[in-house]
Structure 1
């Protein structure tokens, strides 16, 4: 099936949705078990690849759509139900491909799962094949969304640190929790910051949930992987990777730099802080007392023995030390020639010619 056909299918989703005819029962976890198995086997396929990255990104873009000032439903699945509206938001650029990938699975199971639960279930399951990732708690029972999210609630990579911290603070997130959420960039990539090079990883090798993102962003930038002058992008230190302006500035701001540095050398800490932060994100706009813990549906991701290292050819002298209370530690340098990281294979690449 072509990308165009899949996208058309997703954009038609609101036309075929049906509201659940009765309230979910305490047996909801058993009901959702086949959904989880289908996603694990037929969407993610045991790979920490593009489908997994997209599902994890969708958690954030759906859940952050809430504000005490302008409203919104938070983690309610509105990005699926009202996709025709929300995909037009500039900050959601590129999510049409994500929904084209996940949309058919939601259509298949929509009789037993709400769009809000589907987004969160897929996102939690997406980490199952990523070595080093934590197991994220999943709760079910979100009602159908009532309206689209308001625009301009998703932080952009060109936003200032003040703007990003204020946006998150408005929904109850402290600076260390924001940095914890950015651990997701360890297995993520950019499709639209520089549209000439889709699938470019963020300052890391995007198949392992490790500390590379936190080390590499502190290295002095020297190059662009594609074109220069793109909004929200600054120079990176590793060829083939893309550095977001927001990551660069958060890594060097005194309010967040020390947390960033802690994660750079402590993978277990990074994982342990990410899990509660992303679970907190999944509860935005929801009453936890109305939800059922179905975390048994989420497999434990494979373990990772992470040894923090500088990339080949990089040393402590290349680090832009930013934490005001602790020096960046000296680390070993990986052997070998300078890295040239390949783009992330796109989930729809096999269908482009069909």
Structure 2
């Protein structure tokens, strides 16, 4: 009993110490702002947040927020361990836009790059920082998303990234995995990063139908993309889409990238892909971890300041994992060899065409 009493006393002392330490953390009032921050160096980012939400992202999970997340990947993945080329998450896609925005893989990024350059210049921020900040804010605009880390203080890029560092959707899985491995990412981390496609849409794969979503709930950060890519293609088999990098989706109005289709079925990635289908928490945690790694590629994190408190807290999603109307487990093309695809409910009603993502306000 005496030992239990001593342990209880020690626990009480530790709790009191932690409480007293917490009380010592003072928030500072940010100048010319309604906000406070634990680190005064983060105050200016609240002004950037307001500017972004009003003039670029429109505080919605729409086309601009999708593009803000896309440019995060396209800028940061310009990094190679083996060739020692590319600065990673350094904003080179804006600073050296005359070069990088001409790369075929970066088609369609020029608009968000120009918008972010304007905001960065107005607030005296580097392009590497504005890209990563806008990406985190854009994700936060989507219900169900994790709240991503944001570190500030990246120096300006010194050179453009080399061409060929951004994987293309028409490339074989082995080529895509090799490129990601060269940047330091495992197959599982690549699949986690592709959770980004839950809020994505294509403008340039087929220019006649801009804003074509990759899943049926592009305004939510949910697991539907990992379910719907596993459905069999039209006529029971995956046909080749009419445009390079596209595979026919069995859902009207939805686009399936060839790379997503193949990664969902490849032995190296299929089980990770399937594991996210009905596990939103797992998808979010793995996506946040992979993004934490991606956003500091090529950077010395000891020189960066954690300003994650500026990132808005995302709303909860109201979507639960389901099959679209008319689809069931019988329509799944099983690919994971060690576990069966989870049983999910089917959305009631007749099958409907998925609406395109509208342009921003």
Q: Same fold (TM over 0.5)?
A: yes
- Establish whether residue 63 from structure 1 lines up as the match of residue 97 from structure 2: no
Number of the residue aligned with 1:193: 205
After superposition, residues 1-354 of structure 1 pair within 5 angstroms as 27-68=40-81, 69=83, 71-109=85-123, 111=124, 113-222=125-234, 228-347=241-360
Q: Separation in 2 of the partners of 1:249 and 1:313?
A: 24
Q: Separation in 2 of the partners of 1:203 and 1:31?
A: 36
User: CA offsets per residue over residues 256-297 of structure 1, 9 Å max, x none?
Assistant: 111111101111111111111111000101011111111011
User: CA offsets per residue over residues 93-138 of structure 1, 9 Å max, x none?
Assistant: 01112224433322322x2x11100100000111122010000000
TM-score, with structure 2 as normaliser:
0.85
Q: Separation in 1 of the partners of 2:195 and 2:122?
A: 31
Which stretch shifts more, 245-254 or 328-337? 328-337
TM-score, with structure 1 as normaliser:
0.87
Q: Separation in 1 of the partners of 2:289 and 2:332?
A: 29
Q: Separation in 2 of the partners of 1:98 and 1:41?
A: 14
Q: Separation in 1 of the partners of 2:350 and 2:221?
A: 23
User: CA offsets per residue over residues 26-80 of structure 1, 9 Å max, x none?
Assistant: 7431222211222123322221011100100010000000112150110000011
Gaps of at least 5 residues in structure 1 are 1-25
Gaps of at least 5 residues in structure 2 are 1-38
Task: Please say if residues 203 and 236 of structure 1, whose CA atoms lie closer than 8 Å, have aligned partners that are also in contact.
Answer: no
Task: Please say if residues 76 and 145 of structure 1, whose CA atoms lie closer than 8 Å, have aligned partners that are also in contact.
Answer: yes
How far did residue 228 of structure 1 move?
4.3
How far did residue 147 of structure 1 move?
0.8
Task: Please say if residues 28 and 140 of structure 1, whose CA atoms lie closer than 8 Å, have aligned partners that are also in contact.
Answer: no
| Aligned-pair Cα RMSD in Å | 1.5
Q: Separation in 2 of the partners of 1:211 and 1:128?
A: 16
Task: Please say if residues 116 and 130 of structure 2, whose CA atoms lie closer than 8 Å, have aligned partners that are also in contact.
Answer: no
Structure with max Cα Rg? 2
Task: Please say if residues 94 and 114 of structure 2, whose CA atoms lie closer than 8 Å, have aligned partners that are also in contact.
Answer: no
Q: Separation in 2 of the partners of 1:218 and 1:228?
A: 16
How far did residue 255 of structure 1 move?
1.1
